[in-house]
Amino acid sequence: MTPELGQLALILALLLALAQGILPLIGAWRGNRALMAVARPAAAGQAVFVAIAFGILVWAFVHFDFSVRYVADNSNLALPWYYRIAAVWGAHEGSLLLWIFILNVWTVALAAFSQKLPEVFASRVLAVMGLIAVGFLAFIIFTSDPFGRLLPMPGDGGDLNPVLQDPGMTFHPPVLYTGYVGFSVAFAFSIAALLGGELEQAWVRWARPWTNVAWAFLTCGIVAGSWWAYAELGWGGWWFWDPVENASFMPWLVGLALIHAQAVTEKRGSLRAWTILLSIFAFSLSLLGTFLVRSGVLTSVHAFASDPRRGVFILAFLTIVVGGSLLLYALRAPKVAGGKSFKLMSRETVLLIGNLMFAVAAAMVLLGTLFPLVGDALNMGRISVGPPYFGFLFPLLMLPVVLLLPFGPFLRWGKSDTPILKQVLLRAGIAAIACAIVAAFFVDGQPRAIAGVASLVWLGVGVALYAAKRWREMPRGRRYPAEMAGMLLAHLGVGVFVAGVLITESLSVTSDVRMAPGQTQHIAGYDFRFDGVHQTTGPNWRADQGVVTVTRGSDLVGVMHPQKRTYLRGQVQTESAVDAGLFRDLYVALGEPMDTANIEGAWSLRLYYKPFVRWIWGGGLLMMLGGFTCAADRRFRIKRIVESETVEVLLVQETHA
């Protein structure tokens, strides 16, 4: 009976979403305050019912209700409770339920914090959120019901996809979705502005922290996904340009452009149309990501579902949402280039160049992701556009970004003078070149590794110079407002990330070896001794577990236990062993036994030495931290939009006092 209550809750949520999506729009159009006032209670009600539905599905998993098909397909009696909860979003239906649940969390936050916005504008924003919810709820109810029954009820269920049975994967989807869905706020805000026909700078200021938070979550989700792929898939790579990775990377790139464009629009009033267009694109790409992953148009390891009905539904939804908003943009976008003008040598110019690079990079990734589909459609067979395409074009596009990054903060809005820039160029440039020369001796003259060190120093010194300038020139307490601290953190993160990528890619050592117990392999100064394989068991798997003792000279570095697990339902999963360190990872994956009858004999093993690989994720985490820090700036938490100017004056007086 309970699963049917979940279904009922979803239907009620859909009705409330319809009310939230339609009535306030009519109210805002007609100037009817009663209709506008529907938005908030409807949003709250919808959130309650969606939460009930979500809770019922969690309950069904926790209590082994195998009469629910989704539960029976994705869990079994031996699955530990934490993976049973993660199994809620382990496949198609549940991950959509998670999507709508997170959308409701964002909507409720929006309803709570939008009290300061003009009523007409706030109700339009909430209505757009409601319309998005209508689409997703209808999608769940009509094509992807997570509460469908399985009769007769099986005694035990299937299994959660074993690659998902990993701590990294339990929180990767919720965090990633929080980012994806968070772009809906900037989107709703832009659509509301287009509907109203005006875009106040103060409203952009209000929207900025939301975009920053969404982007930071997306960053965190992508980092978690990358780390999971590294630890779990056993190939030792951290990014594969897989269509599903690309699906999350495209909104990230556009979101990055959006964050910077919003800053320009808020502070200078220029780039209004571009900001609106980017916020439409960021959310559209989030939807597109869902479409690509869930429709089965692109088949990859992630595409669990391929039901044409679903594909058609998402495509129709996408056409209405994205097509509709782009048409609205064509008709109503601000016609006159507003805001203050700027010279070539100005902060606007570098931000615009960065924006352009991110947008082109996103388009490049989109093209590379969709190209195989075109090939398929034209019957040229499956063409895959792999790392050579992305790996060549992406660094090329990011090169100007890295080169210009240190100058950005030093440039002034509107018009800037050159002496200070020459100073930055000289200091950061000399430091980078000097460090590169020193580094060349340590990395065997590997050009990419040298470039990695140089970029880190270039960006790091750029950040440090600006931090020092603020320290000298500003009074205490006003040196590093959160917005600026976040910017510096994130830019430093770029340096750490670039260094990690270039050094790992050029200096990693991989070795596929056949080892008999007692044999030793020497890699990058470490001795890996294979001490044989024995059997072990876990809650829902048994495994062949290898023992590899790593020593360096006479010091014991660690004992590693790579596994080859066989899960309850027969799926085999490699569980690699990683000895992590700030400057290097040692990584061992268990291959196959040379003789299947004698697992205690020789095995094939894959050994990696990966210098600075943690810096890749460290850089990502710094960027994430930067995003969150920016959003915390008190400047964004103004009392009331209409009084914003006076409030700012008050704030300034307070800090002076």
Partner 1 sequence: MSRLLPFLGFMLLVALFGFGIWWNTGHDPQAIPSPLLNKPAPAFALPKLYEPTVTVSKSDLLGKPYLLNVFASWCVECEVEHPVLQAETSTLGVLLVGYDYKDAPEDAKRWLSEHGNPYGLLIADQPGQTAIDFGVYGAPESFLIDGKGVIRYKHIGPLTADVVATELKPAIAAVLKESP
Phi-psi region of 345 (alpha: psi -120 to 50; beta: other; left: phi over 0): beta
Phi, then psi, of 520 in degrees rounded to 5: -125, 140
Position among 196, 237, 311, 375 found at the interface with partner 1 (CB under 8 A)? 311
Position among 3, 90, 94, 157 found at the interface with partner 1 (CB under 8 A)? 157
C-beta of 80: minimal distance to partner 1 in Å?
A: 18
Nearby residues of 75 by Cβ (< 8 Å), 6 or more positions away: 61, 64, 83, 84, 87, 157, 158, 159, 160
Give the contact letters, 598-627, x = binds to partner 1 (CB under 8 A), - = no: ------------------------------
Q: Is 327 one of the binding residues for partner 1 (CB under 8 A)?
A: yes
C-beta of 305: minimal distance to partner 1 in Å?
A: 12
Which residue lies nearer to partner 1 by CB, 152 or 475? Answer: 152
Phi, then psi, of 532 in degrees rounded to 5: 95, 175
Residue entry with tokens 């900025």: 208
- Report the distance separating Cα 373 and Cα 382, nearest Å: 8
Q: Is 299 one of the binding residues for partner 1 (CB under 8 A)?
A: yes
C-beta of 310: minimal distance to partner 1 in Å?
A: 10
Q: Is 333 one of the binding residues for partner 1 (CB under 8 A)?
A: yes
Helices and strands (H, E) in the chain, number of each type:
20, 10
Position among 73, 145, 266, 585 found at the interface with partner 1 (CB under 8 A)? 73
Q: Is 381 one of the binding residues for partner 1 (CB under 8 A)?
A: no
Candidates 471, 260, 220; CA nearest to 353 is 260
Q: State the SS3 of 395-434.
A: HHHHHHHHHHHHHHHHCCCCCCCCHHHHHHHHHHHHHHHH
Nearby residues of 286 by Cβ (< 8 Å), 6 or more positions away: 180, 181, 183, 184, 251
Which residue lies nearer to partner 1 by CB, 277 or 613? Answer: 277
Q: Is 375 one of the binding residues for partner 1 (CB under 8 A)?
A: no
Interacting span for partner 1 (CB under 8 A) from 17-25, 313-321, 468-476, 546-554: 313-321
Give Cα separations from 166 to 149, 301, 343 (angstroms): 28, 16, 52
Which residue lies nearer to partner 1 by CB, 367 or 437? Answer: 367
Q: Is 308 one of the binding residues for partner 1 (CB under 8 A)?
A: yes
Which residue lies nearer to partner 1 by CB, 32 or 571? Answer: 571
Q: Does residue 209 contact residue 171 with C-beta atoms inside 8 Å? A: no
Position among 5, 77, 319, 514 found at the interface with partner 1 (CB under 8 A)? 319
- Report the distance separating Cα 360 and Cα 362, nearest Å: 5
Q: Is 377 one of the binding residues for partner 1 (CB under 8 A)?
A: yes
Which residue lies nearer to partner 1 by CB, 508 or 573? Answer: 573
Q: Is 297 one of the binding residues for partner 1 (CB under 8 A)?
A: yes
Which residue lies nearer to partner 1 by CB, 233 or 370? Answer: 370
Give the contact letters, 270-289, x = binds to partner 1 (CB under 8 A), - = no: ---x---x--xx--x-----
Length of the chain: 657
Sign of CA pseudo-dihedral 213, 216, 221, 224:
negative
Instruction: Report the alpha-carbon angle 148-153-158, nearest 5.
Output: 80
Which residue lies nearer to partner 1 by CB, 235 or 329? Answer: 329
Position among 296, 429, 558, 581 found at the interface with partner 1 (CB under 8 A)? 296
Which residue lies nearer to partner 1 by CB, 376 or 527? Answer: 376
Q: Is 568 one of the binding residues for partner 1 (CB under 8 A)?
A: yes
Q: How many of the chain's residues bind partner 1 (CB under 8 A)? A: 40
The DSSP call for residue 154 is: P
Phi-psi region of 454 (alpha: psi -120 to 50; beta: other; left: phi over 0): alpha
Q: Is 326 one of the binding residues for partner 1 (CB under 8 A)?
A: yes
Which residue lies nearer to partner 1 by CB, 63 or 309? Answer: 309
Which residue lies nearer to partner 1 by CB, 144 or 284? Answer: 284
Q: Is 303 one of the binding residues for partner 1 (CB under 8 A)?
A: no
C-beta of 364: minimal distance to partner 1 in Å?
A: 15
Candidates 357, 358, 363, 368; CA nearest to 391 is 368
Sign of CA pseudo-dihedral 430, 435, 436, 440:
positive
Q: Is 291 one of the binding residues for partner 1 (CB under 8 A)?
A: yes
Interacting span for partner 1 (CB under 8 A) from 192-200, 413-421, 563-571, 597-605: 563-571
Which residue lies nearer to partner 1 by CB, 287 or 589? Answer: 287
- DSSP calls for 512-536: EEEE-TT-EEEETTEEEEEEEEEEE
Q: Is 194 one of the binding residues for partner 1 (CB under 8 A)?
A: no
Position among 5, 77, 301, 374 found at the interface with partner 1 (CB under 8 A)? 374
Position among 115, 306, 423, 536 found at the interface with partner 1 (CB under 8 A)? 306
Q: Provide the token pair at 387.
A: 């790392």
**Residue 563's beta-bridge partner residues?**
545, 575
**Which residue ranges make up the site for partner 1 (CB under 8 A)?**
72-73, 150, 152, 154, 157-158, 273, 277, 280-281, 284, 291, 295-297, 299, 306, 308, 311-312, 315, 318-319, 322-323, 326-327, 329-331, 333, 370, 373-374, 376-377, 568-570
